[in-house]
Amino acid sequence: MRVTQSMLSSNMMKNLTASLARLDTLNTQVGSQKKITRPSDDPVVAMKGMTYRRSLAEVEQYQRNFSEAYNWVENSDSALDKAKLALDRIRELVVQTSNDTYDSEQREAAKAEVAQLKEHLVEIANTKFGEKYLFNGSATATKPVSVTATGTTVSDNAGKMELELSKGVYIQVNISPGEAFSEDLFSTVDEVVTALGDGSTGAQLSGLLDKLDSRIADNSTARAKIGARFNRIELMESRMAEQAVIASRILSENEDVDFEKVVTELTVQETVHKAALSVGSRIIQPTLMDYLR
């Protein structure tokens, strides 16, 4: 086969173009630190990247859900703790006034304090987190406890407030009003107020201690449930944090370049391209126009 000058020139230009394209690819990878800049560069890497990014986005959403879960359980536990302190104080007053040495004036003072503690319990039961009531089941827009002239009414909504903290795993983050602030609790407090104001004997007042102890036990049970959920949320958050690290690593391995390797290849390619230009300049022979200049 006869090799002509035009064939040499054509092959040289083709090889220079390929070398320049390789140089551009490596330069782009160094600048972006990504293996590809568009799906057509490597469809397999692009498709895997979409899957990995979706998984990472899910994990990040679950991590945001943990913040809301912690707000629910921590606020609920804090409210129940304050309710426990109020109930303990009521019990303390009942124990003190059950001593028949207390006169009517002292019992009136204790009655006034218990009445204030009852209002405090109502406020705690109507605690809000943001715009949501903590202790009204699924009816978070309505306060659970209402005080009227006929007595104290407590919502019977036992709906669950659940948050998805892992794929397909929902954790209840609320306590129903019946568990935390039942009507029995407020009726027992009302009985204490009545007994302190109607001249009941010390023995009659002491008889209310068992009811108060039962209401305090209900409070402790509700707090134990919140504590158990808090512990599980912590364990799930720890596992989700590990999944986030793994998802980020897999995404990086799929898309990110080995920077040191690419820089080395870029340096080599620059040398190769310069050599190709040098050789190419020798392949192109002088023409008559070069002599005429």
The rounded distance, in Å, linking the Cα atoms of 78 and 101 is 37
* pLDDT score recorded for residue 266: 73
Please, which residues have CB within 8 angstroms of residue 171's CB and are 6 or more apart in sequence? 69, 162, 163, 165, 229, 232, 233, 236
The rounded distance, in Å, linking the Cα atoms of 267 and 109 is 89
Judgement on whether residues 180 and 268 belong to the same structural domain of the protein: no
Amino acid at 131: E
Q: Do the Cβ atoms of 157 and 144 come closer than 8 Å?
A: yes
Judgement on whether residues 284 and 219 belong to the same structural domain of the protein: no
The rounded distance, in Å, linking the Cα atoms of 173 and 72 is 6
The rounded distance, in Å, linking the Cα atoms of 173 and 233 is 9
Q: Do the Cβ atoms of 90 and 212 come closer than 8 Å?
A: yes
Judgement on whether residues 154 and 264 belong to the same structural domain of the protein: no
> In degrees rounded to 5, what are phi and psi of residue 102?
-75, 130
- Residue 49 within a domain: no
Query: Which residue, among 24, 1, 16, 18, has the nearest Cα to 284 in the 3D structure?
Result: 16
The rounded distance, in Å, linking the Cα atoms of 110 and 89 is 10
* pLDDT score recorded for residue 267: 82
In the chain (293 residues long), the average pLDDT of successive 10-residue segments reads: 65 75 75 74 80 87 91 94 95 88 85 94 92 91 89 90 91 91 92 86 85 94 94 93 87 76 78 75 62 56
Judgement on whether residues 98 and 185 belong to the same structural domain of the protein: yes
In the chain, which residue ranges form alpha helices assigned H by DSSP?
5-32, 43-97, 104-125, 177-180, 183-197, 202-206, 209-255, 259-283, 288-292
- Residue 175 within a domain: yes
pTM over 0.85: no
Judgement on whether residues 232 and 208 belong to the same structural domain of the protein: yes
Judgement on whether residues 237 and 267 belong to the same structural domain of the protein: no
- Residue 51 within a domain: no
> Cα-atom radius of gyration of the chain, to the nearest Å?
38
The rounded distance, in Å, linking the Cα atoms of 277 and 129 is 71
Can you give the residue range of the structural domain that contains 27?
Answer: 5-33+258-292
- Residue 43 within a domain: no
- Residue 53 within a domain: no
User: b/e for 120-146, b at 16 or more Cβ within 10 A?
Assistant: ebbebbbbebeeebbbbbeebeebbbe
Domain count within the chain? 2
Judgement on whether residues 127 and 201 belong to the same structural domain of the protein: yes
- Residue 282 within a domain: yes
* pLDDT score recorded for residue 33: 75
* pLDDT score recorded for residue 293: 55
* pLDDT score recorded for residue 24: 73
* pLDDT score recorded for residue 284: 64
- Residue 41 within a domain: no
* pLDDT score recorded for residue 126: 94
> In degrees rounded to 5, what are phi and psi of residue 123?
-60, -40
Judgement on whether residues 240 and 270 belong to the same structural domain of the protein: no
- Residue 56 within a domain: no
Judgement on whether residues 263 and 206 belong to the same structural domain of the protein: no
Q: Could you tell me the CATH number of the domain that includes residue 241?
A: 1.20.1330.10
